[in-house]
Structure 1
Amino acid sequence: MYKKSRLRRLGTTSPLSPSQHFHSDDMRKAPPHTSVTSGRDGGSAGVGLSDKQYSAGRRKMLDLINRLHKTGVQKEIDLPVIAVIGSQSAGKSSLIESISGITLPRASGTCTRCPTECTLSFSAEPWRCVVSLRFTTNENGETIPVRNDPFGPPIFDKPDVEERLRRAQRAILNPSIHARDFLEGVDEDPVTRERTFSTNCVSLSISGPDVADLSFCDLPGLIATEGTGAMKGDIQLVKSLVASYIEKPSCIILLTVACETDFENQGAHQLAREYDPDGKRTIGVLTKPDRIPLGEEERWLRFIKNESEPLENGWFGVKQPDSRALAAGITWSEARELEREFFSSTSPWAGVDLQIQHHFGTANLTDRCSSILSGLIAKRLPEIQSELQDMLQKTENNLRQLPKPPSSDALGEVFNLLTQFSGSLAEYLEGTPEPDGLLQSIRPIKEVFRQDILATAPDFRPYGRLPLPNEPQDNRRFIAPEFLSHETVFVPSDDANAVYIDDVMERANQSITRQLPGYFPFVVVEQYIQDVIGTWEGPTRTLFDAVQHILIQKIKQFIEIHFEQYPLLQQRVAAIVTSYILECSDQTKSHLDWLLALEKRPRTLNEHYYRDYRDKFLAHYKGAARNMATRPCVSQIVQGFAGLGIYGINPVDLPKVLPTDPFEPAIDVMASVRAYFQVAYKRFTDNIPNAIDHDLILGLKRDHALEKALRKGLGIGGTDADVQCGEYIREPPNVLLKREELQKKRERLVSARKELMDLWL
């Protein structure tokens, strides 16, 4: 124990008069504390939350939260924790040393440049400290899955912690260099640092028989300006880092404010007030009270009295050893005695009420922290249990939604996948009931094709190109045949493609060779038919291209769904299937060309339908040529036949009994061509889609040809089939990473749930 004179020499700036002293008996005695870690001489303990007067229930809860932190579940659940914040040089590190006994690096220019998370836990085993590096970002600053890397073997000698921490922080600030280089290399800072600050953290796990159960984090001090050697954005980086901790509702904010600097110039308070506006979870700590400028003591005392910037948990004052005392090797116990001496003998602190004196000293601060932390834990435990259960259920659901892991039998897996794919594809090609299925998507373009072919019907007009004098305009309009009322009839929108009776007659006369008078060669009919058939190639190509496009797109979608779990296999199968479709396309197009060639020669065995259509068109054209469109005249003629005892005469039959028309040969040609079109277009609009369906669509499943092509293309029958298939079904990195993250998350949640369940047992 230091003598009174030595204590004053080490811890006070000037001797105090007797009137300035308060007897220690007037102060509330701090509760006895068991040792957390040694001071610099290795023989004294720090103040932790190991007060033997704590109830068993409180001790049990503190131990539970400590174990929950060990599971890593704080990534998902807001666990109670103490975060120490303040501006640079606000005395945070000294405060942590006084609370926990941990000796932090104190080399010249050294400051906290990354979070230092400390987990203290009671253990019957000898004292030990494990240091690890926790990375949440890579060297490029990109977010990565949390990685905890051990940094050296366990430490069993307390004085060795300081150097290990110093080396660990260097490793955090230089992420591109292997951490082992800093662990085993020379204990000195590199010429330049890759980072001035980092969100990655140094993690300490300390256990021993004299160690309390507590979790806290020392965060980098807030900076106001970017000084020499700083990097652009450091101010915001540190601010965001601190905010990421204190924004959580279960974070107790231990706000350190140095009395040697104007309160308004210390930004930590503004940040704490931003995330805790009511001051319900902030504990204010005034440090360096021995450096208050002369005459400003009362101003700082107003904080201790909770009159300035009031907080629900109040403000506390602490006094830590200065650099001279540290250099002299002051122990923790001596430092605490100096602290008590300072507040009991220095004005204005010594003159306050007894109740206010309870806000002086590390022991009182620690007692208050433990009380608040314990109360928060008691409040949060039921909520944590509910949150854990909900999050565990969501995690299980997310895992179930992932594809199943790849099989260890890669070759067999690929074989099974191809067999299942071929069977499912065969059903899909036959047709499925989905509104957007393959056949449903093709049906509309088949109807467009039919309409396009129907639109090529010859537009014969049974009257001359030039109108007769005083001829009504209605006589020259296109008249749809009544007998086609039950069929689809293309009605031209204009006369651009009209073929007039005199044009037909002219072509017929030009074709006469050795025929007898009144006869015309068949070539006239054949030429008109070939003119029409010649226009069918365009709609046919359009139909084929559209079907091919839809088929490829739909099959690709089908492949994506079937091989969704294996992107590499999916891509390879899609390429092989597309290539196979293109091969089938060449064969299909050849078949379509053959069908087009067949149509160029007029022929049909449907003579009945042809003759029926020819007779009806003949009557239609003759009637139109005679201008017999008015129903009154037609009715009179029909009634006249009835008066002669001739019944069953229809208007369409009247042209047959009318006198011969000089343009009758042309009308005969028109009727023949138009009748053949009706027969041929129906046949053609059936044959072309059927051929495409047979050769291109159903051809994909015929004789297992596609499955054989897939096996060949995938190299399944090769000597390295196992290796090749292993590559095909290798899980995508993003899925593998997601699975590992969810599994680790589930493990953390399950472990945390078990800890909670054990608490209630």
Structure 2
Amino acid sequence: MSDMSLSDIESDITSMTISPSQDGSESQGVGLSNPHLAQERRAMLDLVNKLHSTGVQVDIDLPQIAVIGSQSAGKSSLIESISGITLPRAAGTCTRCPTECRLSRSNGPWQCIIALRFITDSKGQVLGQARNEMFGPTIFDKAQVEERIRRAQRAILNPAKLAKDFLTGEDEDLQSPSELSFSTNCVSLQITGPEVADLSFCDLPGLIASVSREGRESDIKLVESLVTSYIRKPSCIILLTVACETDFENQGAHRLAKQYDPQGKRTIGVLTKPDRIPTGEESNWLPFIRNEKESLENNWYCVKQPGSSDIKQGITWAQARTREDEFFSMTPPWSELEGIYQKYLRTSNLVDRLSSILSDLISKRLPEIQQELEKSIHQAHTALNQLPKEPSKQPMNEILDLLHTFVNDLTAHVEGIPDRDGLIQRIRPAQQKFRATIRATAPNFKPIERKYAGKKKLPRARFLANEEEDGVFESEEEEEDYGSSHGPGLAEAHSGTKRKRDAGPIYVDEVMARAHQARTRELPGNFPFIVQKTYIDQFLSEWRSPALILCKAIHAEIAAHIKTLTKKHFSSFGQGGLEQRVNVLLQAHVNGCLQRTEAQINWLLDIENRPFSLNSHYLSDYKDKFLSLFKGTRREDRCSDLNAAISAYSPPPLIATRSGVPVQPQPQQTGIAKILSGLVEVGMLGIKPEDLPKLLPSDPMEPALVIMADVRAYFQVAYKRFADNVPLAVDHELVLGAERGVLKILYGGLGINGPDGHRICKDLAQESPQNADRREELMKKLERLNVASQELLRL
């Protein structure tokens, strides 16, 4: 049985029915069975019927006719005149669930297949796809249709019971109270035969203004929403029935039709029960036929169906059409209408117009339907591809493959990938900051007395500028000078890494004082190594915190990176249980790596407690350079007047004699000349002016300068060693350690290599109900769309 789109519920209809002939057939074609219908038009109607049979109307707006009207508007009689069958009249059943009619002309015998279409389950929850159940065998006798429909409607209204029980139930069972007053589920009729119209339509619920004592107020909104679900579609032809026995303004079906078709382009109006118009009020309805009132593009029609007395006498469909023709031909004012409006009277004219409108709409929509099908198929495939991978029938093999792929990816990341957001690239700033922080702990020795602090500008250690990319700052004053002379970029780069000098600069007189305080049994002029060790311990004490901060920073980056990789590889598997468990295991593993790394850092700090270096040449070279820097600074300060005099001194020019041998005149006995002359007198020959500072007495602070040079030189050796060893330890224990042995950890932690491995893998592979339902819904949708697409290709 083919699927239809969501059907609506019809309210009680009290209009009269048409009885089939005694032999169950009619002598003429029923409804739209027009022998002169063009072959092309019939082919298009057949195609749309086939498309409806695929159920694709749930996804695509297919052309169809929806019959709507208010309660007791004569809808049932109109439908019977089109379909040629009799609908049930038992109160409380015929109007409580929708009926879909799919008519198809064939060369075979007349037959009717009745099915139950369930759109919601017994709890009222909407199903992913409509479920069809055959309700009894195929019917070949029209007289049996009414009773079968009545029983089918009762089955719809009692979803907790088996539908087959209503096929053979007694009459009293069919009269008992139903579980539901209304249902969105429907009865579907598929009627074929040589005298049947090629037409599909849905008998939608009659709109109700109030409910009975057993009913619910919510039923009013339910009926209206079901009608709306059909007529809001652009390809729905609205067949609006209006009973002439009731004031037009009181019939709510027109309000809904106008709301969703305000221009009246796809609405066909049908006036029913013209024989019940009070005498003298017929003229109130003639403006509709003339399209002067509530005008519609396809006009208003008027039909007359048999009355109750005719039904009791067993009137046939052909006889009903004859009496209808007699009524409009002989009854004023209908018989007096101009000839141009006579075509809007009688059922035959209505169904001919319906056929024309429907076929024209189908012809227009077919190219669009093809495009919509292709678009819907593409969207369904896209949505299906976006869902997590469907669970494997061999979950253990799939999980093992996922784990191996993940570990290989993790290995590539800890080794380094050429990507801006790679793990190595992300931890590099922390390593650089660590090195700069350690470098900033250098002792800030000043080769001047504290009393001159801020009064004398000290030179930079320029011999360090070329070997350290981040530069060297030997005093706060020099930092400012260096930043201004090398541009803002480098100064900004160091703004966050300058050392916090809690004790401030260390002046030479303070070093000298500490050296004297440390002397015990040393000979005069000798000072113990404990002085250097004290200053070394000071900068070593500042190394622990930056090293541990580096560990924490890299640990955070690794944990976040692993979490990202875990999500990448496992998020689409099962319900997320595998991803969650892998995350827990890996975070515990990385935390263990952090603990081992911190232990290594503490070990490196411990071995630095004893000053040591086999790189004696490197250490001696730095000591000489720093000592020369410190001495030169003090020498320039102590001999500033002498140096100025030496710079200003110039030897007298040579005087030529008659013999041609130049003779230097006797030097003046002042300043530098006087000093040089005196040195010659005491036998010190060959002394040059620039040699004079060497003759001055030694600097009393020279022992302190040696201590400062020792400590400063050792810092250069130790800090570079430590600034390399710590990142190496972190890389070995934390970065590379994050991948080391991880596959074994995952195997053991997940338990997939144990006796319960298959059960664990099966549990982990279970798909979430939401994804499973969504996949099933999309697969069914694709099936409908593909079948419909194939039907179009056969046109």
Q: Give SS of 1:219's match.
A: strand
1:171, distance to aligned residue in structure 2 (A):
5.9
Does 486-495 or 278-287 show the bigger shift? 486-495
2:529 is matched with which residue?
522
2:721 is matched with which residue?
683
Matching residue within 447, 453, 464 for 2:438: 453
Equivalent residue letter for 1:695: E
Output one character per residue of 1:360-383: Cα deviation in whole Å (capped at 9) or x when no partner.
Answer: 222221111111111111222233
Paired residues, what number? Answer: 713
Equivalent residue letter for 1:671: A
Does 615-624 or 271-280 show the bigger shift? 615-624
Measure, in 2, the Cα distance between the counterparts of 1:351 and 1:268.
29
Output one character per residue of 1:94-146: Cα deviation in whole Å (capped at 9) or x when no partner.
Answer: 322222234444333556455433322345266132312231688465x5422
1:723 is matched with which residue?
759
Q: Give SS of 1:583's match.
A: helix
Matching residue within 596, 620, 626 for 1:587: 596
Measure, in 1, the Cα distance between the counterparts of 2:698 and 2:15.
140
Is structure 2 residue 705 aligned with structure 1 residue 667?
Answer: yes
- Going from structure 1 to structure 2, the CA distance change for 1:666 and 1:74 (only over 3 Å counts) comes to same
Equivalent residue letter for 2:622: Y
Output one character per residue of 1:204-235: Cα deviation in whole Å (capped at 9) or x when no partner.
Answer: 33344544332211222334567756656655
2:483 is matched with which residue?
none
Matching residue within 609, 618, 638 for 1:600: 609
1:23 is matched with which residue?
none
Measure, in 1, the Cα distance between the counterparts of 2:636 and 2:344.
118
Matching residue within 293, 300, 320 for 2:285: 300
Q: TM-score, normalised by structure 1?
A: 0.82
Is structure 2 residue 355 aligned with structure 1 residue 370?
Answer: yes
1:301, distance to aligned residue in structure 2 (A):
1.0
1:729, distance to aligned residue in structure 2 (A):
3.3
Equivalent residue letter for 1:289: P
Is structure 2 residue 519 aligned with structure 1 residue 512?
Answer: yes
Output one character per residue of 1:212-270: Cα deviation in whole Å (capped at 9) or x when no partner.
Answer: 33221122233456775665665554444333322222211111222233323333323
Is structure 2 residue 536 aligned with structure 1 residue 551?
Answer: no
- Going from structure 1 to structure 2, the CA distance change for 1:313 and 1:503 (only over 3 Å counts) comes to same
Alignment check: 8 A CA contact 1:44 1:333 kept: no
Matches within 5 A, 1:470-549: 473-475=454-456, 480-486=460-466, 487=468, 488=470, 489=472, 491=479, 492=498, 496-501=502-507, 502-549=509-556
Is structure 2 residue 78 aligned with structure 1 residue 91?
Answer: no
1:352, distance to aligned residue in structure 2 (A):
1.1
Measure, in 2, the Cα distance between the counterparts of 1:661 and 1:555.
61
Measure, in 1, the Cα distance between the counterparts of 2:83 and 2:93.
20
Segments of 5+ residues of structure 1 without an aligned counterpart are 1-10, 14-35
Q: Give SS of 1:498's match.
A: coil
- Going from structure 1 to structure 2, the CA distance change for 1:495 and 1:382 (only over 3 Å counts) comes to closer
Q: Give SS of 1:146's match.
A: strand
Does 598-607 or 158-167 show the bigger shift? 158-167
Matching residue within 237, 249, 259 for 2:244: 259
1:325, distance to aligned residue in structure 2 (A):
5.0
Q: Give SS of 1:608's match.
A: helix
Q: Give SS of 1:678's match.
A: helix
Measure, in 2, the Cα distance between the counterparts of 1:190 and 1:12.
24
1:293, distance to aligned residue in structure 2 (A):
4.0
Equivalent residue letter for 2:720: K
2:119 is matched with which residue?
135
- Going from structure 1 to structure 2, the CA distance change for 1:742 and 1:463 (only over 3 Å counts) comes to same
1:348, distance to aligned residue in structure 2 (A):
1.9
Q: Give SS of 1:84's match.
A: strand
1:543, distance to aligned residue in structure 2 (A):
1.7
Alignment check: 8 A CA contact 2:30 2:196 kept: no
- Going from structure 1 to structure 2, the CA distance change for 1:420 and 1:12 (only over 3 Å counts) comes to closer
Q: Give SS of 1:220's match.
A: strand
Matching residue within 24, 34, 37 for 1:43: 24
Alignment check: 8 A CA contact 1:87 1:257 kept: yes
Does 422-431 or 43-52 show the bigger shift? 43-52
Output one character per residue of 1:553-608: Cα deviation in whole Å (capped at 9) or x when no partner.
Answer: 21222122223431333333333222322232322222222122222222222323
1:710 is matched with which residue?
746
Does 705-714 or 666-675 show the bigger shift? 666-675
Measure, in 2, the Cα distance between the counterparts of 1:693 and 1:306.
88
1:317 is matched with which residue?
302
Alignment check: 8 A CA contact 2:514 2:531 kept: yes
Alignment check: 8 A CA contact 1:453 1:685 kept: yes
1:357, distance to aligned residue in structure 2 (A):
2.2
1:3 is matched with which residue?
none
Alignment check: 8 A CA contact 1:50 1:212 kept: yes
1:284, distance to aligned residue in structure 2 (A):
0.8
Measure, in 1, the Cα distance between the counterparts of 2:220 and 2:696.
106
Q: TM-score, normalised by structure 2?
A: 0.79
Measure, in 2, the Cα distance between the counterparts of 1:629 and 1:148.
106
1:533, distance to aligned residue in structure 2 (A):
2.0
Measure, in 2, the Cα distance between the counterparts of 1:127 and 1:12.
25
1:616 is matched with which residue?
625
Output the aligned Cα RMSD. Answer: 4.0
1:439, distance to aligned residue in structure 2 (A):
1.4
Measure, in 2, the Cα distance between the counterparts of 1:280 and 1:509.
111
1:692 is matched with which residue?
730
Measure, in 1, the Cα distance between the counterparts of 2:82 and 2:687.
126
Measure, in 2, the Cα distance between the counterparts of 1:654 and 1:310.
124
Output one character per residue of 1:480-523: Cα deviation in whole Å (capped at 9) or x when no partner.
Answer: 53333332236558864414325444443333322222333222
Equivalent residue letter for 2:548: R
Output one character per residue of 1:371-421: Cα deviation in whole Å (capped at 9) or x when no partner.
Answer: 111111122223323333343344445545555544433333333332232
Measure, in 2, the Cα distance between the counterparts of 1:136 and 1:655.
108
Segments of 5+ residues of structure 2 without an aligned counterpart are 1-13, 474-478, 480-497, 652-671, 677-685
Does 624-633 or 341-350 show the bigger shift? 624-633
1:183, distance to aligned residue in structure 2 (A):
7.1
Q: Which has the larger radius of gyration?
A: 2
1:78, distance to aligned residue in structure 2 (A):
1.8
1:631, distance to aligned residue in structure 2 (A):
11
Alignment check: 8 A CA contact 2:20 2:316 kept: yes
2:41 is matched with which residue?
58
Measure, in 2, the Cα distance between the counterparts of 1:198 and 1:151.
18
Measure, in 1, the Cα distance between the counterparts of 2:597 and 2:15.
101
Measure, in 1, the Cα distance between the counterparts of 2:49 and 2:95.
23
Alignment check: 8 A CA contact 1:623 1:655 kept: no
Is structure 2 residue 784 aligned with structure 1 residue 748?
Answer: yes
Measure, in 2, the Cα distance between the counterparts of 1:67 and 1:631.
111
Matches within 5 A, 1:188-199: 188=175, 190=177, 193=180, 199=184
Equivalent residue letter for 1:127: Q
1:172, distance to aligned residue in structure 2 (A):
5.4
Does 165-174 or 295-304 show the bigger shift? 165-174
Does 119-128 or 492-501 show the bigger shift? 492-501
1:65, distance to aligned residue in structure 2 (A):
0.8
Alignment check: 8 A CA contact 2:87 2:146 kept: yes
Measure, in 2, the Cα distance between the counterparts of 1:159 and 1:754.
37
Alignment check: 8 A CA contact 1:133 1:168 kept: no
Equivalent residue letter for 1:675: A
1:524, distance to aligned residue in structure 2 (A):
2.5
Measure, in 2, the Cα distance between the counterparts of 1:448 and 1:166.
84
Is structure 2 residue 53 aligned with structure 1 residue 70?
Answer: yes
